């Protein structure tokens, strides 16, 4: 079954939520205008409608997930979207006065907007140029959720730099990993590519091939006070092949059909995820691991 | 016997390597975003000294904005080297950018006459601040944004006049070491005369940066790159650097942190600007 996805490498104007939503409406209109049929899933980067570095401005621009989804839905309908479409979009979330760097998976259009899942970023970078935990609270759960391609998980930016995150997502059934990101580009010594982008490419291709998952990486672009968001949006197959990509600075749409059968074939050819499932209990219940120990049931030790 | 392949003990120059075409692409995009997208300003103005830093910035601005939108200003003082004017002109001719020459001698001498005797250090600071005064005034005349030309090496060594060279709101090369600026200059096609001559602030006759600093730029950059990566002096010395040069560079960095910040303000409230009330520069 083919699942058509479109990743939007977006360049927001800092803090201009309404202006950025209007620009997104233009993107929706382009996707609806054809000639290709509209995608089934649209993926936007982290903090796509506000820009990433907000500092204290985060408290002025955060929204509840359902309110943010309704704003996305209004743009889809204003662009002429009558049929349902799924969307992933990063945003700053106000959850009853607790603030998160979040990304939602929602269905827009059709009978009404529906928030399927909200992932709250778990690894908040707070070092060097980053200061997220000064303003935000980290998420506590990594969950999967249903999509037409099967179970999926969202990892926001640094979430994906910890290899245990896609590993756990895959163990929980994810066949698709979606990464909204806002990554300030750095390191000019690479051959034609920023060193930070080289790191990302290695990360996403390895996670895809190790677990037999599609990876959709949507990167923010544009400069924010001298810090250039490094774009480099890409789609990686379950075999770890880079199917399509954008450069750092393009403002563009990346499209591809995903095929669930490719996931099955990749996992049959390289059954690392199955192997991990078998060995995991021996690794996990190692007393030397720095994990809190609660009662271990005999059944889990089998 | 098996062949033995040894890793280098220290990757000293890895931190200084740049892909010059990538660097150009990145910095040109930076200038376009900062001027056109963020500020809706399509013109740049910069002081063109005849040295390598302002030449590289002129090239980047010309590529980002078009040469017709770049205004170079030559700001000679009576003791400035004629070579500086000539080398600045080479850049103007190569790029087809606009140029004005505004002598700062009368303005500097007028102040110094009123102020009485000043040592060379004070005179140099007055010249640097006068140049920035002219640059900002010309920016208002031209509707152009002043662009900074300070490099990372001089910023780290504190080798600049505070609230003068560091004043323009946008600087494309401030995170490039001097040796990286040279590499970028070669890629951009900056005239060889500018790349090959000894760098000089040209505030006094026969002055060179390296004699002022007491260390070559290549050595300073290699030491700086290691200091900023967190290496201790003994680790840097262990890979072959002169302990006296390490100490000199570290002393300059550690004695000038204040020059890389805004003025210190007494915090007396829970809403102190940039302490509690935090908004990014482009918000």
Q: What is the pLDDT of residues A140-178, one digit of tens each?
A: 999 999 999 999 999 999 999 999 999 999 999 999 999
Q: Are A56 and B278 a contacting pair at CB < 8 A?
A: yes
Specify if B283 maps to a domain.
no
Q: Are B29 and A56 a contacting pair at CB < 8 A?
A: no
Q: CA distances (Å), A173 to each of A144, A260, A272, B150, in order?
A: 7, 13, 14, 53
Q: What is the pLDDT of residues B158-187, one digit of tens each?
A: 999 999 999 999 999 999 999 999 999 999
Residue B254: is its pLDDT beyond 60? yes
Q: What is the pLDDT of residues A57-109, one digit of tens each?
A: 999 999 999 999 999 999 999 999 989 999 999 999 999 999 999 999 999 99
Residue A293: is its pLDDT beyond 80? no
Q: What is the CATH number of the domain that holds B34?
A: 3.40.50.620
The DSSP letter of residue B38 is: I
Specify if B2 maps to a domain.
no
pLDDT band with cut points at 50, 70 and 90 for residue B278 = very high
Which residue, chain included where needed, has tokens 């070669």?
A: B186
Domains in chain A, start-ordered, CATH in brackets? 2-271 (3.60.110.10)
- pLDDT, average across residues A259-275: 96
Sequence-distant (≥ 6) Cβ neighbours of residue A242 within 8 angstroms: A201, A205, A234, A235, A236
Domain count of the fold of chain B: 1
Q: Which residues of B touch A15 (CB under 8 A)?
A: 283
Cβ atoms < 10 Å from Cβ of A117:
18
What distance in Å separates residue B110's CA from the closest CA in chain A? 38
Partners of residue A218 on adjacent β-strands: A180
First to last CA, chain B: 64
Residue A302: is its pLDDT beyond 70? no
Sequence-distant (≥ 6) Cβ neighbours of residue A68 within 8 angstroms: A49, A89, A91, A93, A104
Specify if B241 maps to a domain.
yes
The number of C-alpha atoms within 13 Å of A135 and in the hemisphere containing its C-beta is 23
Specify if B5 maps to a domain.
no
Residue A299: is its pLDDT beyond 90? no
Q: Which of B17, B34, B279 sits opposite A55 (nearest CB)?
A: B279
What local confidence, expressed as pLDDT, does residue A284 receive?
A: 85
Tokens for B184? 């970028």
Residue A300: is its pLDDT beyond 80? no
Collapse the DSSP code of B44 into the 3-class scheme (helix H, G, I; strand E, B; otherwise coil) and give the result.
Answer: strand
- Diameter of chain A by CA atoms? 58
Residue A185: is its pLDDT beyond 80? yes
Tokens for B139? 């920016």
Q: Are B283 and A190 a contacting pair at CB < 8 A?
A: no
What local confidence, expressed as pLDDT, does residue A298 receive?
A: 56
Specify if B269 maps to a domain.
no
Q: Can you give the residue range of the structural domain that contains B195?
A: 14-260
Q: Are A225 and B30 a contacting pair at CB < 8 A?
A: no
Q: Pick the residue from chain A with its C-alpha nearest to B184.
A: A188
What local confidence, expressed as pLDDT, does residue A121 receive?
A: 98
Q: What is the pLDDT of residues B27-65, one digit of tens each?
A: 999 999 999 999 999 999 999 999 999 999 999 999 999
Taking all residues of chain B, what is their mean pLDDT, rounded to a whole number? 94
pLDDT band with cut points at 50, 70 and 90 for residue B250 = very high
Specify if B190 maps to a domain.
yes
Collapse the DSSP code of A253 into the 3-class scheme (helix H, G, I; strand E, B; otherwise coil) and give the result.
Answer: strand
Q: Pick the residue from chain B with its C-alpha nearest to A190.
A: B19
What local confidence, expressed as pLDDT, does residue A297 receive?
A: 58
pTM: 0.94
d(CA A34, CA A18): 25
What local confidence, expressed as pLDDT, does residue A65 receive?
A: 98
* A249 has a chain B CB within 8 A of its CB: yes
């Amino acid at each position: 079954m083919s699942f058509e996805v479109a990743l939007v490498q977006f360049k927001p104007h800092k803090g201009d939520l309404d202006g950025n939503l209007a620009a997104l409406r233009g993107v929706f209109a382009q996707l609806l205008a054809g000639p290709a049929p509209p995608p089934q899933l649209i993926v936007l980067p982290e903090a796509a409608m506000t820009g990433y570095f907000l500092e204290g401005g985060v408290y002025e621009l955060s929204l509840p997930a359902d309110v943010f989804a309704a704003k996305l839905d209004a743009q889809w309908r204003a662009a002429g979207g009558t049929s349902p479409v799924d969307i992933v979009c990063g945003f700053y979330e106000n959850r009853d006065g607790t603030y998160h760097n979040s990304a939602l998976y929602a269905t827009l259009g059709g009978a009404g907007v529906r928030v399927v899942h909200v992932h709250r970023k778990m690894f908040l970078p707070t070092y060097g140029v980053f200061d997220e935990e000064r303003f935000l609270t980290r998420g506590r759960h990594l969950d999967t959720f249903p999509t037409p391609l099967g179970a999926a998980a969202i990892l926001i930016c640094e979430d994906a730099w910890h290899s245990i995150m896609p590993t756990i997502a895959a163990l929980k059934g994810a066949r698709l990993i979606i990464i909204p990101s806002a990554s300030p580009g750095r390191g000019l010594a690479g051959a034609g590519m920023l060193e930070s982008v080289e790191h990302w490419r290695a990360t996403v291709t390895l996670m895809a091939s190790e677990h037999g998952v599609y990876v959709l990486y949507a990167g923010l672009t544009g400069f924010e006070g001298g810090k250039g968001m490094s774009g480099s949006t890409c789609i990686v197959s379950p075999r770890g092949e880079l199917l399509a990509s954008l450069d750092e600075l393009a403002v563009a749409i990346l499209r591809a059909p995903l095929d669930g059968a490719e996931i099955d074939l990749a996992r049959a050819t390289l059954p690392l995820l199955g192997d991990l499932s078998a060995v995991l209990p021996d690794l996990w219940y190692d007393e030397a691991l720095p994990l809190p120990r609660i009662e271990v049931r005999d059944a889990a030790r089998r | 016997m098996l062949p033995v392949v040894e890793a280098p003990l220290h990757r000293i120059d890895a931190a200084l390597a740049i892909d010059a075409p990538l660097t150009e692409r990145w910095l040109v995009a930076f200038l376009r975003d900062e001027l056109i997208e963020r500020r809706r300003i399509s013109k740049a103005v910069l002081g063109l000294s005849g040295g390598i830093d302002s030449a590289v910035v002129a090239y980047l601005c010309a590529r980002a904005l078009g040469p017709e939108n770049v205004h170079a200003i030559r700001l000679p003082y009576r003791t400035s080297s004629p070579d500086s004017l000539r080398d600045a002109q080479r850049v103007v001719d190569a790029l087809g950018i606009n140029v004005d020459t505004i002598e700062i001698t009368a303005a500097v001498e007028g102040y110094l006459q009123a102020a009485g005797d000043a040592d060379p250090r004070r005179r140099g600071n007055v010249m640097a601040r006068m140049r920035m005064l002219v640059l900002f005034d010309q920016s208002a005349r031209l509707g152009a944004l002043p662009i900074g030309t300070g490099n990372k090496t001089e910023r780290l060594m504190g080798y600049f006049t505070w609230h003068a060279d560091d004043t323009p709101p946008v600087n494309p090369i401030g995170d490039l070491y001097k040796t990286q600026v040279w590499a970028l200059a070669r890629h951009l096609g900056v005239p060889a005369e500018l790349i090959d001559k000894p760098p000089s602030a040209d505030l006094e006759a026969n002055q060179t940066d390296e004699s002022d600093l007491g260390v070559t730029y290549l050595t300073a950059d290699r030491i700086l790159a290691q200091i900023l990566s967190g290496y201790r002096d003994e680790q840097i010395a262990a890979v072959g650097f002169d302990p006296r040069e390490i100490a000199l560079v570290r002393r300059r960095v550690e004695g000038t942190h204040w020059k890389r910040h805004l003025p210190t303000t007494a915090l007396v409230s829970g809403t102190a600007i940039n302490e509690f009330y935090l908004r990014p520069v482009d918000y």
